[in-house]
Copies of this chain bind each other. A is one copy, B any other.
Amino acid sequence: MKIGIPDMRAVTMEQAGLPTLVPAATTLLKTLDTVLEGWATAAGAASMIMPPLLPVAALARLDFFDNFPHQALLVSPLDMTKQLTSEALAYASETLEPASLALPSAACFAVYLYHRERSLPDKTTVTVLGRCFRREERYEDLRRLLGFHMREIVALGTPEFVQDHLRRFGDRILAFAAALDLPIRKEAATDPFYDRGGPRALLQKLAPVKHELLVEDLAVASLNTHRNFFGQRCAITLAGTGRPLFTGCVAFGLERWLAVLLARFGSWEAAVEAVRSASAQVGAAPP
């Protein structure tokens, strides 16, 4: 076995980055997600359920395998023409069929793929909750997982709308964290999509495309602008212009929120109460 996919005989599911959430933690995750989805729908977002797997061909079109090959997790059926054994602890590569599907590493990819070749009005907003997957070199309680929940609020339209979306939701997150008395800070970050040298990397130095919201050293949310990257690659145009639209997303790593809320409030139950109270304080009106 290689780094990142541990020998499942020797490690627990927690050590493999695949924890189970006990009932009180489940309640907290659902309570928090309902708050975040409420912010999105109050701002006019369409709440949708996206496919849990995406085609390799579609992700390749988004440069996913160029940028994140080490994180990728591919999905294959068993090759039924091969001799298989029920004693298997892992299936060898040669017993697998080719992988034409992959697990998503972010929830918003499916949104751009869904809108492929469509023309959309400015101020289109979509919110999705996805189970996302990233192979990491090591996993850490709820802070760094192989499989985790990501709530995203995605903006599609003019550059101005996207910037406004990120500013408004960034402010909302800061206000929510303040109501939780959770020390949070916003920092410019490096988006791996643009971190490959050349003109894009230069452009990023001039105007950051990613900000992270951090509690201590843990990014619990991020604000991302993609310029017209997904608009171009997915041929999504801004209605009336025929041109690729701009996109941006606000992303929340829900298990990371659970980790910082548990540390802050000492119990899942106290954290649930705190989230409810902070949500009422911040309000659900469009930010």
- A26 to B: closest C-beta gap in Å: 5
A276–B27 alpha-carbon span in the complex (Å): 22
Residue interface bits A40-78, CB-to-B below 8 A is 1, else 0 = 000000111111110111101001011001101111111
Known: A18-B52, A20-B114. A97 touches B93 (CB 8 A): yes
Contact check, B8 vs A20: say whether CB atoms are below 8 A apart: no
- Interface residues in A1-45 by Cβ distance below 8 A to B read 1-2, 4-9, 13, 16, 18-23, 25-27, 29
Residues on the B chain within 8 Å of A20, using CB = 48-51, 110, 114
- The one of B46, B52, B80, B93 in contact with A93, judged by C-beta atoms closer than 8 angstroms, is B93
Count this chain's copies in the assembly.
Answer: 2
Contact check, A89 vs B60: say whether CB atoms are below 8 A apart: yes
- A96 to B: closest C-beta gap in Å: 5
Contact check, B100 vs A8: say whether CB atoms are below 8 A apart: yes
Q: Does A207 contact B (CB under 8 A)?
A: no
Contact check, B103 vs A98: say whether CB atoms are below 8 A apart: no
Q: Please tell me the number of chain A residues within 8 Å of chain B, measured between CB atoms.
A: 72
Residues on the B chain within 8 Å of A241, using CB = none
Q: Does A206 contact B (CB under 8 A)?
A: no
- Interface residues in A96-151 by Cβ distance below 8 A to B read 96-101, 103, 110, 113-114, 131, 133, 135, 146-147
What are 29 pairs between A and B in contact, CB < 8 Å?
Answer: A4-B77, A5-B76, A5-B77, A5-B97, A13-B113, A18-B51, A20-B50, A20-B51, A20-B110, A21-B48, A21-B50, A23-B47, A52-B133, A56-B89, A57-B89, A60-B89, A69-B78, A70-B77, A72-B77, A75-B75, A76-B76, A76-B99, A90-B98, A90-B100, A93-B96, A93-B97, A93-B98, A96-B96, A131-B131
